[in-house]
Amino acid sequence: MKLFKSFVIISALILAVSGCKVEKPADTDGHDLWFHNLEKVSDATPAAYTTEAIARNEIDCYWKGSAAVEIKVLDKQDEALGRDGYRLVFSGKKVSVEANTAIGTLYGVYGLLRLQQTDALPKGSKTITEVPAYEYRAFNHWDNLNRSVERGYAGKSLWNWDELPDKVSPVYQEYARANASVGINATAINNVNANAQILTPEYLQKVKVLADIFRPYGLKVFLSLNFAAPKHIGGLDTSDPLDPKVVQFWKDKTAEIYALIPDFGGYLVKANSEGQSGPQDYGRTHADGANMLADALAPYGGVVFWRAFVYDAQAEDRAMQASDEFVPLDGQFRDNVLVQVKNGPIDFQPREPISPLFGQAPKTNLMLEVQITQEYLGHSKHMVYLHPLWKECLDTDTYEFGKGSTVAAVTEGKFRDNKLSAISGVTNIGDDANWCGHQMAQINWYAYGRMAWNPDLSSDEIADEWLRQTFSSDPKFLKPVKDMLNRSREVNVSYEMPLGLHHIMASNAHFGPGPWETSYRKDWSPQFYHKAGPDGVGFDRTVATGSGATAQYNEPLASTYENIDTCPENLLLWFHHVPWDYRMKDGKTLWDELCYTYQSGIEDAEEYIKIWEKAEPYVDNQRYQEVRTKLIRQAKDAMWWRDAVILYFQTFSNMPIPDDCYPAQHTLEELQQVGVFRRPQMPQGGARPQGAPQMPRQPRPEIYDMLPDYTLPGMPEL
Ligand code: GCV
């Protein structure tokens, strides 16, 4: 008996130890996104292509609980739930999904399945109420009609315009379902650098097919419009928003769209920005342009997302321009216009302060635009979880209406009578099998949706949800991989643009370092932003000696940024021009701090590889290998960034790289060659020379062939 007991104990111990050995999951290309771990319990198909039938079918196919699930559109409207909110009532052997609308119940069904998949179902009776913070939770596709995607790194556009309207890809429905599952309810399907062709009858028929597919999933179509469409496709000789013919053109066009798509969302507009036409071409204001479109949409309940991303080459400080142009227009926009503001005042850099406009236009419906595609954060080559970046912006206090006027509160409309509210994200989706180019970039799609629904969710909570649904809930996988994701934005800042440096990437492709580059437009030139010289580095935006941008913030932010001693060090070089030997709070010189920050970024990127290798047993081979290959590349790119930026700055600082940092592997001259092949150097501020080549928008595939190879000092075995 004793012997038997010992045998049992030893066997249990062996089992416990070999418990580390998990069964290797089957390979996947990642196309099933965060539905990956949903197990089918039935092969039922929806009874009809309606929201109600889809909601029922999702439960029939995937609900594993023993409790019966009732899905109920409330007879008596519950104001607290609004249009999209839902309630999950758990009681005994029943779960009730309740909402005011069918789409509310569908969100509730996805909410319930998420609780199931993340081991978060309540044990006893409980009621969970969920109401989205924003009315419009929008996607912006920068997809062109030829299926290229501006700043897209995941293949071609999903929309196959040549095949539409006759041939319909199953991907369109998969896309709508994925969006509904995280609450995204609006999608502007074409590039803001818009081709007016999208508004022709031929294209509108194609758009209608997409809208019909998206409708049961609660996804409204928006169109980006070209402000010059009256001239381009309307046969008019002007696009002046105050010209009656132009007003009529937009009224007719809008009526034509609503006849095809009764729940059409509205227009997204980039006007008088980066060469796009706009009301200013006719001496009119942004408000004139936006209001004219808003009036055309108003009878149908449509809205205008009017972008505040404006700047021109002559300004002393690009960071000030959106405020300079839009603050004087505060109070002039119609109720159904939302002014769409990028999170920072320049352009989706790895770190920016908030756009000051969030705190300066109390009478305007302001909405936040974030970028999900990683234009400046390593494209789909680098693993960067972006929620911490977005959350930093949402949580920043503008102080506009006193303490607590965070960007989230302002954009949610907490201080306005008009409760119209919206948020936009520039997608990272293409026709790649895994949708996003990088398996780990799917988290940014997921996180965007969850954030748009609930801006209070933490990065950690969202990463936890996503990893459990997409990979594994095993703590040995979950904890280290989640930690790695949570740190990844800060790591990216460390190896690309630390301490407030910005816009020092190689031009055009916006990939890799290019601090030495000049451009025929000074505001596209990295040197314009870092201003490195023998006296130091950084953009002086103080009122005392610089551009005065700090004054665009409300107190106490303005003085905090103005004063070098109180300015957060992670934005130091954004607001100040700082001597190389300036003493940082930890006693190091600015130069050493820069070197050590880059060094930490490289070491962290190297550590990702080790963490991922330990996660190997929990991940199918296909996704494991794909991610590992990209992580190796990312760590090498971190070295590349460091070498390029530090060696270039060293020509001004004349200070050594500290001995305990990795030595440079390549010379500045070698690295500058990479740049030379990518972009001809042009005199700063000069005009584009006649016949100068128009450089490609995307990185050339051979970029790594031009780049000398890197070894990773912290990873000798690679
Ligand atoms: C769609 C940046 C990007 C452009 C983009 C623009 C915008 O400048 O590089 O590709 O154009 O932002 O947001 O309109």
Question: Which parts of the chain register pLDDT below 50?
Answer: 1-19, 680-681, 683, 685-686, 689
Q: Is the CB of 309 under 6 A from ligand 1?
A: yes
- pTM of structure: 0.95
CA-based nearest residue to 293, from 325, 249, 236? 249
- The rounded Å distance from CA 345 to ligand 1 centre is 13
Contacts of residue 2, defined as CB under 8 A and 6 or more positions apart, other chains included, come to none
Q: Is the CB of 369 under 6 A from ligand 1?
A: no
Quote the pLDDT of residue 718: 78
Q: Is the CB of 270 under 6 A from ligand 1?
A: yes
Give the largest CA-CA distance in the chain. 99
Gap between the Cα atoms of 41 and 52, Å rounded: 19
Name the packing angle between helices 244-260 and 201-214 (round to 10°).
40
Q: Is the CB of 524 under 6 A from ligand 1?
A: no
Q: Is the CB of 151 under 6 A from ligand 1?
A: yes
Q: Which amino acid is at 686?
A: G
Gap between the Cα atoms of 595 and 642, Å rounded: 8
**Best mutation site among 341, 347, 370, 376 for ligand 1, i.e. most ligand atoms within 8 A of its Cβ?**
347
Which ligand 1 atom is the nearest neighbour of the CA of 192?
A: 1
Q: What is the torsional sign of CA 680, 682, 688, 691? A: negative
Beta-bridge partners for 224? 268
Gap between the Cα atoms of 509 and 374, Å rounded: 11
Phi-psi region of 235 (alpha: psi -120 to 50; beta: other; left: phi over 0): left
Q: Is the CB of 192 under 6 A from ligand 1?
A: yes
How do 86-91 and 94-99 pair as beta strands?
Answer: antiparallel
pLDDT digits 0-9 by tens, 159-176 = 999 999 999 999 999 999
Ordered strands of the 68-73 beta sheet: 68-73, 94-99, 86-91, 126-130
Q: Is the CB of 521 under 6 A from ligand 1?
A: no
CA-based nearest residue to 352, from 489, 485, 452, 533? 489
Q: Which sequence positions are flagged as catalytic?
A: 274, 347, 375
The rounded radius of gyration (Å) of the Cα atoms in the chain is: 26
Quote the pLDDT of residue 21: 63
DSSP 369-393: EEE-S-TTTTGGGS----HHHHHHH
Quote the pLDDT of residue 5: 42
Gap between the Cα atoms of 369 and 112, Å rounded: 29
- The rounded Å distance from CA 270 to ligand 1 centre is 10
- The rounded Å distance from CA 547 to ligand 1 centre is 24
Ligand 1 atom 3: residue of nearest CA: 151
- The rounded Å distance from CA 670 to ligand 1 centre is 30
Quote the pLDDT of residue 470: 98
pLDDT digits 0-9 by tens, 225-246 = 999 999 999 999 999 999 999 9
Contacts of residue 140, defined as CB under 8 A and 6 or more positions apart, other chains included, come to 188, 192, 224, 268, 369, 424, 425, 426, 427
CA-based nearest residue to 364, from 422, 319, 318, 280? 422
- The rounded Å distance from CA 62 to ligand 1 centre is 40
Q: Is the CB of 150 under 6 A from ligand 1?
A: yes
Which ligand 1 atom is the nearest neighbour of the CA of 191?
A: 1
Quote the pLDDT of residue 507: 87
- The rounded Å distance from CA 225 to ligand 1 centre is 15
**Best mutation site among 148, 151, 376, 505 for ligand 1, i.e. most ligand atoms within 8 A of its Cβ?**
151
Quote the pLDDT of residue 699: 52
- The rounded Å distance from CA 234 to ligand 1 centre is 26
Quote the pLDDT of residue 700: 57
Ligand 1 atom 13: residue of nearest CA: 309
Q: Is the CB of 376 under 6 A from ligand 1?
A: no
Which ligand 1 atom is the nearest neighbour of the CA of 273?
A: 14
Is 352 in contact with 502 (CB distance < 8 Å)?
yes
Q: Is the CB of 698 under 6 A from ligand 1?
A: no
Quote the pLDDT of residue 312: 86
Which ligand 1 atom is the nearest neighbour of the CA of 342?
A: 13
Contacts of residue 255, defined as CB under 8 A and 6 or more positions apart, other chains included, come to none
